[in-house]
Structures are given as structure tokens and as C-alpha cells.
Structure 1
Amino acid sequence: MRRVVVTGCGIVSSIGIGNKTVATSLREGRSGLQFVPEMKAYGLRCNVAAPIVGFDEAIFQEDGKPRLSRAAQYGLTAVFEAIAEAGLMPHSEPLNSAAVILGSGGGGQSCLPETALRSDANPIDEPGIYELRRQMNETAAVAVAQRLGAEGRVSSNSAACATGLYNIGFGYELVAAGLHDCCICGGVEEQSWQRVGVSADNSLGMPTTFNETPKAACRPFDRDRQGFIISEGSAAVVLESYDAAMARGAPIYAEIVGYAAANDGHDLYVANGDAMRRVVLSALSDAAKLGVANIDYINAHATGTPIGDAIEAGVIREIFGTGPAVSSCKGVTGHSQGAVGAQEVVYTVLMLRNEFLAATANLEHPSDDCGGIDHVRTRRDVRIDTALTMNNGLGGTNAAMILRAL
């Protein structure tokens, strides 16, 4: 197995577009949560979301029309930042032979209502091939491969809220196994409160009493947590073998020293923690083979749900005790589903690079069932060498990845 390193990152998130802006937002605790009048008009109990602000869709238009889905636009934006950081150019090596692994929970489905209206009005002429390309689950992966000239594997794996980490993990496995020297991977998600939000709202999975104080709505590990806040966006990383990166003089921001994924096979909606425990222990076993004995920081999945946060805290407490510092970024970023695992890899790399730990926002009263771990309640300016990031999703999907600063 070959060593695998991160040579570039890119991100589009509710707390900023681009690594520099996002790192500043994480450091300063700037929140992307806001009141959304359309959610209220739609009749939802929760009127808070974490949308992308300031994104320029016009640069992706062809003939004055949005030929790419918003998911693909987000993905391209993150990927172009990542390859620029890595010192790579489209249509050149090693991108020509690279794999592109960009996953999504829902693909480009936000265009479906528009497509349905066009089809009813003029079923022969509309929708056209562009609508089909926008709707595909692999909408971002194929758009990126085309723009980069990448001729390796192209894939879009979907694993609910663990999607982003699954796709980076898959890229890691391809490079580690020697099947590719370079892989562009990550996760994307479009605005989805009209799809996912309705189900979550009906099942009381989102906060209902914070509409007038939206920035306080998502409360990971807190006594008063009520649920998650929907977000969107993308994140991408460039993964290369250590030897290939060194040979071309690439910047190295972190090394992936452990990864695992598993399903708990327990319940469609409620995890029991078994698979979460297994993936963390398996990733730790991988890391030990590369000389990593301790974890300094855990970027928790913690979405602010009453059951999920307690199960995750219990697994962390059982495996680590009060050892590593623990925080969740979702108190300021919201939860972007298929993109969130990749975004949190980038958040973790940014913390490693900039030597700080982001605080868990709105953690005013740590819940008794989330106790016994070292919660980061205010930002810590400290160098960390190793970090674990973990995600889980509906259906029992779980993944964990360990990164080491180099």
C-alpha cells in the first residue's frame, strides 16, 4: 500500500467560498445560518437554513442559460481551487490520467420542477439533453472530468450524509492501491430544503423554536438541541501518492493515515453506534501502522439531533475517554448532506494548516448524555498533528478518516 497525501483543497460552503474565507470564518465562529422567508411561506415549522451566499452562477452559463446543475457548478468551483493549490493545470499530467470521484446525495434534482413544467408545456422540444445532464447523480463528476480532461475512473458514490467522506475514502483507496497516482474527489449538494427539508420537518428532525434567532438553531451536543439545519455546497481535495507528489515538488498539506467505512445494518433511521465504533477502530489500526499512536482532535459529525449526538459522544467516550479535543462545525455551517463529509475534511485540513481548533457553536449547556469528552467550547489556538473526522448517514452508513500534518 502506498502513502497518500492531500496536495490541494477547495470549498464552497455557507460560511464562505474558498479556503481563506472559510478558514477565517471557522476561526472567528462566523455563522452561515439564517432565516429563510420561503421556508415559512412553504409552511415549514423550521424556517432556518444555511444557504450559499455570493455564488456567481453567471460564469457557468452557456448561451445565457445554466447548462450545468448547481451541484456541478459548486463542484467545479471547489475542484478548480483545489487543483490550483496543488499546482496542476487542466488537460495536463497528472490530471489527464486522474480519477474523478465526486459524490452527491441528490444530484441536480433542484431543476426537476422546472423540467416538469417545460415537459408539460412542450413535451417534444423540452426538456433537452442539458436537463438530463443536470439531473444525473454524477452531474458534478462528469462535468469536472470533462473540464479537466481526466480520463481515469469517474464515479459518484452516494451514501447519505457520509457521501463526501465515502468518496474521498474511495479516492484514497485507489491511490493507496496503486490504481491511480492522482484522484480528484469530494462531495456536492444543491439546496434541498424543498425535498429533504419537508420530510425532516414533518418528522420534527429540524429545530422549530429558533426562527427568530436563526444563528442559535443548530446546537451540537447541547442540552437544548432540536435537530439539524439544512445547508448545501461542495468540497474537493487532490489526492496523490506521496512519491508522486514529492517527485513533482507538490505542496503537501496533510497525509491520510487511516480510513474505514461500514454499515451498521441496524435500522434505516436510528444508528446503534456499532458501525461507528468499528470504522473508528479500523482507521486507528491503519494509522498505527504508520506510527500514529494518538489523536489530537476529532471533528465530529454531530448534527444537533437528540439521538445522534448522544450515540456519537458515547462512542468517542468509550474509545478515547477525555483524550482528544472534540468539536462539530455544524453549529455555524449547517448540514450539507452529500457534501458535508468532504467539507469537514477540508475544515480539518484548514485547522491543521492554520493551527487552531474551531469551537462547537451554541454549546451553552453540554448535555449529560454527551458528557465525558473534551468539548471545544471556545476556539483554541494550538498546533495539532493528527485529527479524526467522522460521518454517518441514514441507512447506517458510517465512515472515519485520520489525517496527519506533514
Structure 2
Amino acid sequence: MERRVVITGMGIWSCLGTDKEAVTESLRMGKSGIGIEKERIAYGYQSALTGIVKRPVLKGILSRRERMGMAEEGEYAYMASAEAFRQAGIDDEFLQQNEVGVIFGNDSSARPVIEAANIMATEHDTQMLGSGYIFQSMNSTVNMNLSAIFHLRGVNFSVSSACASGSHSIGLGYLLIKQGLQNRVLCGGAQEVNYYSMATFDALGAFSMRMDEPEKASRPFDRDRDGLIPSGGAAALMLEEYESAVKRGAPILAEVCGYGFSSNGGGISQPSDDGSVVAMTRAMEMAGVAADDVDYVNAHATSTQQGDMFEAIALDRLFRGRHALISSTKSMTGHECWMAGASEVVYSVLMMQNNFVAPNINFCNPDEYSEHLNLATRTTPCDLRTVLSNSFGFGGTNSALVVRKVQQNF
């Protein structure tokens, strides 16, 4: 009999708030976390829009040695993971005595690479770099730091699949537990927010230029959208085998019951409605649910012309005439990039626990592709039992997850 996989703890550090309670309230109020960072213009950006994410203060919480090798996204991931462990009832003694794995989605770290290169350009001496930059700049920086700090001894690797990374991390953790290879895996996504990390995106002309109204700049599915807004932070979810969670009296927040994936096989930045449909269908089939069973779809929609268009086509193919409400929380957060697939599952579970669907804010005018979608444009009271969360990324990588309220028996 296949094992069930449940979420026993969650943590979030984002532009909507730095704990679950604050984030829940922001979601309920449809509050945007997007603002202006003027330094971006001075640095050479076209757009100064960004998610405003508070930097955690870890001095006094972690030792100097632990902080030295931790990049910005690792700091966010530590805070989110600590919150997830607390909710799951997992302390240091438990971690010392039980095997817990860790899989995080994250990008490479731009800041330490650029800072190290600047030092070398000035000093021409590698001994001036110290020992911290190597651990901050490796693509596995989040996993290696979390594993060392929390004494994690299970599976340990990073997922770097563009903006589907956080979702794939949950999907992979789910499969490992479902197949009996692990009992508990900390999964999540993390993304640095500093301007060093986003210049190449700005070069593509991918960012909104609506700088006079930052909170209205992210407009998923709206006809007048003009680009995404970069954002970041971290989200963490404690995935656990159901019987194990029940045995130790852990809180059971929701059940992960389906993971779907696909690749578009086309241009490196070309979205695909077919690829999106395959990922969503595969997730629903694994979960044993049909489109009629889905109550809410957390769309990937980032507020770009092509991306939103192809996802709208895919959603229309699967959900036209169905009751599922659809919204993109990126209308409030901006695009949290490598973190987004994990944070949006956290956002969806918070909605599920509090019986509402957060609005797709700034949706004023539909286009020919979004006009048939059942979009929630205001906070909507709703008994959410089954949620589908989409994440799509550069390179044509697609991921979809089905999460539902826990059922004691199938």
C-alpha cells in the first residue's frame, strides 16, 4: 500500500510578512508587498520595482561561523525552516535522534560571486577573499547550511529548475516519502532579492515599468500587464509520512497527493499550453481527482504577456465550466522566482485552513485568453478541500502539485 504524505509544519519569510499569521492577513486583505528600490536605477536598471523583503538579523541566533557561509537566500531559508520545525513539533533533540532529509529549490547566489570578483579585481590576491564566499556562492548553499545547522542526516540536495524549483522540491520529497525511502523531508524554496541578482532579468525587458504605482504593477491575466516584478524570500514545508506523523502527535495541516511534471521541449523562454496541461493532468491523475474536484487553482501567472496567455489557454482547456476559483498570488508578491513553487503551496494551505481564496488583485480588464477564467478578483469565502498549484519556468520546466485537506480514510 502506498504511503500517504502530509504537511506537518510550514514556514514563510516573504514580502507579505515574516510569519504565517502576518502572511495570512496580507492574503486575506489582498495587500501587495511590492515597492521601489531606488538603488536599482543608480545601478543601471530600467525598473526599480521589487518585492520588499525584510532581511533577518541572525546575530545572537546563529554563531559567527554559521553565519559566515550563509548567502542571503540561506538566511531567509533558515528563518522559514525554523518556523516550520516549530510548528511540526521538531526540536534539536528530535533531529539528533531521527533522520530528516532536506530538498530546497534555489538559484545560484549573485552577491557573493560579484563581491568576490570585485575584491579580486582590486586586490589581485585570493587570500583577501576569506572562507565564506565559497559556501555562499555554491548552488547548494541553502541545503548545505540547513543540513549543518539543523543536523539533517537524510537526503540532501538542491533543485535548480528555474521558477519551478520550489514546486519540484516538494514533488521530489513527496515521491521519496511515498516510496518509503524517507519518512521526513524538509522541502522548500529560497530566492535572494538584492539588485545584483536580477540585472540580467531586467536586461530582457521582463520587468514592469509601472513605477508610479508599485502596488498596482503586478497584473496577472490583465490585458494591460506590462511585465513581472522580481521578489523573493523563502518558504519551508515539513513533509512527513502520515502514520509517522500520527504516531508522534504532529499537527497535520494538509496532504500532498499529486505531483505532475513535463517539459515543453521548445524555445528556452517559450511557454506552452500543452506542457502546462500535461503537468496539471499528471498531478490530478496521481491524486485521483478530476477537474470537477478541484476547488482552487493557484496559477503560476507572473504578469508577462506570453506566460499568462499560454497558462490562461491551458486553464481554460481544463477548467472552463468547472467551479474551481483561480488566482495568482503573484499579483501581491511579485515573482518569487526559485522560491515561488514552495511559497505558493504555503499560501494555498493557509487559505485552506482559513476558508478563503486570496484575490487576483489588479485585474481590471480581461483579454481574449483570460475572459473565460473563473478568476477570484476579491477575497472569496470558500471551503477549500482540493487545491492545484502551478509552477512553470525557463527551459520549459513545468510542475504542478495537488494538495488537499486531510482525509482519515480514502
Pairwise TM-score range, normalised by the shorter structure? over 0.9
Equivalent positions of 1:48-87 (< 5 A) are 48-53=49-54, 55-58=56-59, 59-60=61-62, 62=64, 66-87=68-89
Deviation at 1:133, TM superposition (A): 0.7
- Give the aligned partner of residue 400 of structure 1: 400
The whole-number CA distance in structure 2 between the counterparts of 1:76 and 1:57 is 9
Deviation at 1:125, TM superposition (A): 2.0
What's the CA shift string for 1:195-247, capped at 9, x where partnerless? 43x33333321112x11111111100101001110001010100001111111
- Give the aligned partner of residue 184 of structure 2: 182
| Number of equivalenced pairs | 402
- Give the aligned partner of residue 244 of structure 1: 244
Aligned match of 1:123 in 125, 136, 146? 125
- Give the aligned partner of residue 254 of structure 1: 254
- Give the aligned partner of residue 149 of structure 2: 147
SS in 2 for 1:282: helix
Residue identity over aligned pairs, in percent, reads: 33
Q: In structure 2, do the counterparts of structure 1 residues 372 and 23 end up closer, same or farther at CA, with 3 Å as the change threshold?
A: same
Q: In structure 2, do the counterparts of structure 1 residues 292 and 3 end up closer, same or farther at CA, with 3 Å as the change threshold?
A: farther
Aligned partner of 1:305: which letter?
T
Deviation at 1:368, TM superposition (A): 2.1
The whole-number CA distance in structure 1 between the counterparts of 2:384 and 2:393 is 27
Q: In structure 2, do the counterparts of structure 1 residues 64 and 200 end up closer, same or farther at CA, with 3 Å as the change threshold?
A: closer
Equivalent positions of 1:288-303 (< 5 A) are 288=288, 294-303=293-302
Deviation at 1:114, TM superposition (A): 1.7
The whole-number CA distance in structure 1 between the counterparts of 2:220 and 2:360 is 7
Structure 1 position 204 matched with structure 2 position 205: yes
The whole-number CA distance in structure 2 between the counterparts of 1:277 and 1:60 is 44
Q: In structure 2, do the counterparts of structure 1 residues 94 and 25 end up closer, same or farther at CA, with 3 Å as the change threshold?
A: farther
Q: In structure 2, do the counterparts of structure 1 residues 186 and 35 end up closer, same or farther at CA, with 3 Å as the change threshold?
A: same
Q: Is the 8 A contact 1:9 1:237 kept in 2?
A: yes
Aligned partner of 2:193: which letter?
Q
The whole-number CA distance in structure 2 between the counterparts of 1:54 and 1:158 is 23
Greater mean deviation of Cα atoms: 40-49 or 165-174? 40-49
- Give the aligned partner of residue 7 of structure 1: 8
Structure 1 position 35 matched with structure 2 position 12: no
5+ residue gaps, structure 1? none
Aligned partner of 2:46: which letter?
R
The whole-number CA distance in structure 2 between the counterparts of 1:335 and 1:90 is 33
Deviation at 1:72, TM superposition (A): 1.1
Aligned partner of 2:151: which letter?
G
Q: Is the 8 A contact 2:8 2:252 kept in 1?
A: yes
The whole-number CA distance in structure 2 between the counterparts of 1:124 and 1:277 is 50
Aligned partner of 1:128: which letter?
G
The whole-number CA distance in structure 1 between the counterparts of 2:97 and 2:81 is 12
SS in 2 for 1:237: strand
Greater mean deviation of Cα atoms: 391-400 or 137-146? 137-146
The whole-number CA distance in structure 2 between the counterparts of 1:103 and 1:199 is 20
- Give the aligned partner of residue 101 of structure 2: 99
Q: In structure 2, do the counterparts of structure 1 residues 243 and 163 end up closer, same or farther at CA, with 3 Å as the change threshold?
A: same
The whole-number CA distance in structure 2 between the counterparts of 1:122 and 1:391 is 43
Q: In structure 2, do the counterparts of structure 1 residues 83 and 169 end up closer, same or farther at CA, with 3 Å as the change threshold?
A: same
Q: In structure 2, do the counterparts of structure 1 residues 138 and 213 end up closer, same or farther at CA, with 3 Å as the change threshold?
A: same
- Give the aligned partner of residue 282 of structure 2: 282
Deviation at 1:124, TM superposition (A): 4.0
Aligned partner of 1:18: which letter?
D
SS in 2 for 1:258: strand
What's the CA shift string for 1:330-377, capped at 9, x where partnerless? 111011111111110100110111111000111111222212111000
Q: Is the 8 A contact 1:60 1:67 kept in 2?
A: no
SS in 1 for 2:380: coil
Q: Is the 8 A contact 2:96 2:151 kept in 1?
A: no
Aligned partner of 1:2: which letter?
R
What's the CA shift string for 1:135-184, capped at 9, x where partnerless? 11111111111122111110001000000001111111110010000000
Aligned partner of 2:166: which letter?
G
Greater mean deviation of Cα atoms: 320-329 or 63-72? 63-72
TM-score (norm 1): 0.95
Structure 1 position 304 matched with structure 2 position 303: yes
Runs of 4+ displaced beyond 6 Å:
none
Aligned partner of 1:318: which letter?
R
Aligned partner of 1:404: which letter?
R
Deviation at 1:69, TM superposition (A): 1.1
5+ residue gaps, structure 2? none
- Give the aligned partner of residue 265 of structure 1: 265
The whole-number CA distance in structure 2 between the counterparts of 1:229 and 1:268 is 20
RMSD of aligned residue pairs (Cα, Å): 1.9
The whole-number CA distance in structure 2 between the counterparts of 1:395 and 1:64 is 34
The whole-number CA distance in structure 2 between the counterparts of 1:145 and 1:202 is 35
The whole-number CA distance in structure 2 between the counterparts of 1:187 and 1:304 is 21
The whole-number CA distance in structure 2 between the counterparts of 1:335 and 1:142 is 25
Deviation at 1:54, TM superposition (A): 5.4
Greater mean deviation of Cα atoms: 145-154 or 160-169? 145-154
TM-score (norm 2): 0.94
Equivalent positions of 1:133-172 (< 5 A) are 133-172=135-174
SS in 1 for 2:159: coil
